Amino acid sequence: MTALPPCYPANSRLDEHGDLIVGGCSVTELCREFGTPVYIVDEQGARERARDYRAAFESRHPDSEVIFASKAFPCTAIYRLFAEEGLSCDVATRGELFLALAGGVDPARIHVHGNAKDDADVAAAVEAGVGCVVIDSFDDIDRLERLVPDRQRVLLRVNPEVQADTHESVLTGHSTSKFGLRRALALRAIERLRASDRLELIGLHTHVGSQILEVEPLTMAVDALADLGDFPVYDLGGGLGIPYRSTDTAPSLDAYADALVSAVHRGLGTDVRVLVEPGRSLIGTSGVTAYHVVSVKRDVVVHVAVNGGMGDNLEVSLYGTEFEARVLARRDATERCQVVGKHCESGDVLVRDAELPSPVIGDVLVTPATGAYCYTLANNYNAQPRPPVVSCREGDARLVVRRETYDDLLRRDVPAAAVPTA
Ligand SMILES: Cc1ncc(COP(=O)(O)O)c(C=O)c1O
């Protein structure tokens, strides 16, 4: 068995034939059983990562809490898994709230986000009895004041005006961001919230963005909260980046927790509750996607086309994420390839530059680090059914989301009215 770099699931190895084993299951066998494309999750790896996250923070600051940012992988099996590991969860929409409740998450441990919560969103959150609503605007305050029957705990999202080095679409804490309130406005909101008899302001929230590969912007956001008053709770968001390729590096959990907790102790005090909301760095590397190669075209570029693409992985076209690929159980000399999908546009590229062992039709091709923001961004472009999710643990493979069918694609169509015959 050969160990793999950190962009692969913690419980994955290559066997002596070059097959990938995830959670004790052969990916080649999984592809036979469940078809391709298929999202494969190393369940034990995700559980271990949740425990590592808790340990990293609790060992440095006992009064801390890890919240699963569920937008990264919103399916009931994953909500349940992280709830079983003692994590809270955040939701950004009523749909995510619905899934979290269906996944058995204790409403008291749900944090509700959103920069555009409408009355129905707020009413659903209040009715579910969520633990905390994160106020993003003065309109949120008005709505909650109107719709909360009794009392609701809230955090106020502060825009820290910190620019991190990541794709602009996933930056959220820069000065022109649509999220949260800049400090001058935050002070006014704090005043209003402190005067409210329905809303109990327990603390401040901030989030700089996603796939951040340096800890400095994350600690700068902590510093930005320091002179806004004293609060018992601080939610420092998520954002820690992950390695997508064997050559990538990302800060370790220990380095991240060290930096964040030190910044809290320095600027916010030691007697506060610290919350963090990881998504990508909690589940990203516990997932891989497996495809079959369906066509190889050798010309100026070697195009290796697989039976998925931007329908199951939008990260590449939305954020320019650079993945790597591996063809399983092949030892031929390698060639430089571009891995492309089956969708009708040239942007449908999965891996721009991959050294692969002379791929042929029928090969199983795997892209690692697809555990975050792939399932959730999956779509039906070109009427392509979305892939299933298979959770693997100690050699046991469990189908937790089935493959979409062609009938599913008709599910929302309203049949045309019967044309009356003369
Ligand atoms: C408010 C909030 N918290 C947490 C996260 C999770 O971020 P990440 O997946 O980068 O850890 C996000 C995602 O952007 C977010 O918007």
Please determine, for residue 163, whether its predicted confidence score (pLDDT) is greater than 90.
no
Please determine, for residue 298, whether its predicted confidence score (pLDDT) is greater than 80.
yes
Domains and CATH numbers, the chain: 12-42+285-410 (2.40.37.10), 44-281 (3.20.20.10)
113 CB under 6 A from ligand 1? Answer: yes
The helix-helix angle for 138-147 and 183-195 (nearest 10°) equals 20
Report the alpha-carbon distance of residue 219 to residue 15 in Å, rounded: 41
Report the alpha-carbon distance of residue 243 to residue 48 in Å, rounded: 17
* Position in ligand 1 atom list of the atom nearest CA 238: 11
- pLDDT at site 259: 97
> Which two structure tokens, joined as six digits, stand for 313?
């992985």
Please determine, for residue 3, whether its predicted confidence score (pLDDT) is greater than 90.
no
141 CB under 6 A from ligand 1? Answer: no
- pLDDT at site 422: 65
* Position in ligand 1 atom list of the atom nearest CA 72: 9
Q: Report CA(89)–ligand 1 centroid distance (Å).
A: 11
Task: State the first-to-last Cα distance of the chain, in angstroms, to the nearest integer.
Answer: 73
Average pLDDT in the 297-302 region? 97
pLDDT digit string, tens, across residues 247-295: 999 999 999 999 999 999 999 999 999 999 999 999 999 999 999 999 9
Q: Report CA(171)–ligand 1 centroid distance (Å).
A: 10
237 CB under 6 A from ligand 1? Answer: yes
- pLDDT at site 301: 97
Active-site residues: which are they?
Answer: 344
Please check whether residue 237 is in contact with residue 207, taking contact to mean a CB–CB distance below 8 angstroms. Answer: yes
Question: Band of the pLDDT at 169, cuts 50, 70, 90?
Answer: confident
- pLDDT at site 171: 80
Average pLDDT in the 126-133 region? 98
Return the SS3 of 393.
strand
The helix-helix angle for 216-223 and 253-267 (nearest 10°) equals 20
Question: Band of the pLDDT at 226, cuts 50, 70, 90?
Answer: very high
Please check whether residue 229 is in contact with residue 177, taking contact to mean a CB–CB distance below 8 angstroms. Answer: no
This prediction has a pTM of: 0.96
pLDDT digit string, tens, across residues 230-250: 999 999 999 999 999 999 999
210 CB under 6 A from ligand 1? Answer: yes
Percent of the chain with pLDDT over 90: 93
Contacts of residue 412, defined as CB under 8 A and 6 or more positions apart, other chains included, come to: none
